[in-house]
Amino acid sequence: MPRISTEEVARVAGLAHIALTPEEIERFAGELDVIADSVAKVSEVATDEIRATSHPIPLTNVLREDVVTSTLDRDEVLACAPAAEDGMFKVPQILGEE
């Protein structure tokens, strides 16, 4: 027996102002049933003995220490750029603004 009816899909689509064809409503009802069944299976397995995690593999911070070092010379960097003007990179205008 389906858990998500086509009427429910149509109602939620209407609330979200999403126009769906009858074929789409039928397809989404079936897909949502599969999702609901999968969630139910996971809920059966979940126990209090298993700690909830956001990621299956423990993560560690891989960033280096924030250390102040010397920076690149601006004139050297701008000398490698295709175009520069007033100490800045010059790039083509893309937004049509003056």
Nearest CA-CA partner of 1 in 36, 44, 39: 36
The predicted structure's pLDDT at residue 98: 62
CB contact at 8 A, 20 and 10 = yes
CB contact at 8 A, 6 and 25 = yes
Count each helix (H run) and each strand (E run) in the chain, helices first: 3, 2
The predicted structure's pLDDT at residue 1: 46
Question: CA–CA separation, 90 vs 74, rounded Å?
Answer: 14
Place of tokens 């700690």: 51
**Could you read off the pLDDT tens digit of each residue along the chain, which spans 98 residues?**
458 999 999 999 999 999 999 999 999 999 999 999 988 888 787 677 777 777 778 778 888 888 999 999 999 999 999 999 999 999 988 887 66
